[in-house]
């Protein structure tokens, strides 16, 4: 199977433009970037893809051993880059894909020009001297709930993740996205995501980075965004006047403006 088929890769925009790769978060797919990527299509070569098990990817390519850590997903990003001969790329990663992109840039920094990390979290579980936003018990309860009733979990959690209770259609879209994912793969990806600890990797990132943080985010609170910005060697933190964990859907204009300002400098 081809790499491009495996990850349902779609290329848009300017064929000779600087590559700009958009990576979606847990439970989502490339469609979540539809309000953002067109703003860069005139100047960049846009690359969209789905993680294995999400969207239009080939779920048959899922391998528990390969995807036992976020490194397997970072390897996918690098393989897509090799297949398309991408260099000097701008990588835009939402949520867990922010750390996936960071890991990919550590492995092959020569291929990356900059990172845009939207709602990143190197560790979701609180630790001594570190606020991740969840206790270990919280995470295990979340995963148990997914095991017992994935659809029910999706309906309950999506509005919490999305925030913006005054715009229920956004939570509904995220719920539908969760429900489209392969439940077994989604549960595995959730375990890998929410139990991950990539704090030590931040210091190894040499690529200039933008950290985009919503002012009120139930999944990656402000303390996490500030931590990521503090630990990255070359980064800029921008706090969006937005709520929830998905500004690519709830505040696309702000997201676009912040990315453009970063790339311009």
The values of phi and psi at residue 233, to 5°, are -65, -30
Burial 34-44 (b: 16+ CB within 10 A, else e): ebbbebbeeeb
Angle at which helix 150-162 crosses helix 183-194, to 10 degrees, equals 50
pLDDT > 70: what percent of the chain?
Answer: 100
Summarize the confidence of residues 161-187 as an average pLDDT.
Answer: 83
Residue 264 CB contacts under 8 Å (≥ 6 apart), including other chains: none
In 85-182, which ranges are continuous DSSP H helix?
Answer: 96-107, 136-148, 150-162, 168-180
Q: What is the pTM assigned to this prediction?
A: 0.95
> For 197-243, what is each residue's pLDDT tens digit?
999 999 999 999 999 999 999 999 999 999 999 999 999 999 999 99
Taking Cα atoms as reference points, which of 214, 257, 265 lies closest to residue 236? 265
* pLDDT tens column, 105-140: 999 999 999 999 999 999 999 999 999 999 999 999
Q: Which domains does the chain have, with CATH numbers?
A: 3-264 (3.40.50.1820)
Catalytic residues, by residue number, are 95, 217, 245
Mean pLDDT of the chain: 94
């Amino acid at each position: 199977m081809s790499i491009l088929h495996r990850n349902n890769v779609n290329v848009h925009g300017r064929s000779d433009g600087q590559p700009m790769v958009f990576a979606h978060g847990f439970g989502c797919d490339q469609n979540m970037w539809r309000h953002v990527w067109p703003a860069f299509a005139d100047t960049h070569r846009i690359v969209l893809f789905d993680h294995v098990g999400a969207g239009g990817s080939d779920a048959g390519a899922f391998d528990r051993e390969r995807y036992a850590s976020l490194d397997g997903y970072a390897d996918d990003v690098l393989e897509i880059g090799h297949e398309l001969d991408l260099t000097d790329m701008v990588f835009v990663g939402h949520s867990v894909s922010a750390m996936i992109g960071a890991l990919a840039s550590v492995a092959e920094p020569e291929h990356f020009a900059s990172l845009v990390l939207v709602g990143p979290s190197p560790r979701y579980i609180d630790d001594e001297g570190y606020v991740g936003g969840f206790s270990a018990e919280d995470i295990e309860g979340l995963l148990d709930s997914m095991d017992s009733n994935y659809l029910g979990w999706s309906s309950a959690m999506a509005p919490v993740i999305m925030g913006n209770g005054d715009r229920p259609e956004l939570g509904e879209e995220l719920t539908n996205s969760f429900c489209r994912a392969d439940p077994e793969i989604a549960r595995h990806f959730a375990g890998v995501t929410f139990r991950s600890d990539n704090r030590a990797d931040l210091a190894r990132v040499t690529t200039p980075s933008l950290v985009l943080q919503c002012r009120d985010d139930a999944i990656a609170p402000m303390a996490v965004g500030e931590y990521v910005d503090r630990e990255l060697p070359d980064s800029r933190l921008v706090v969006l006047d937005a709520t929830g964990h998905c500004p690519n859907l709830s505040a696309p204009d702000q997201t676009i403006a912040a990315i453009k300002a970063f790339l311009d400098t």
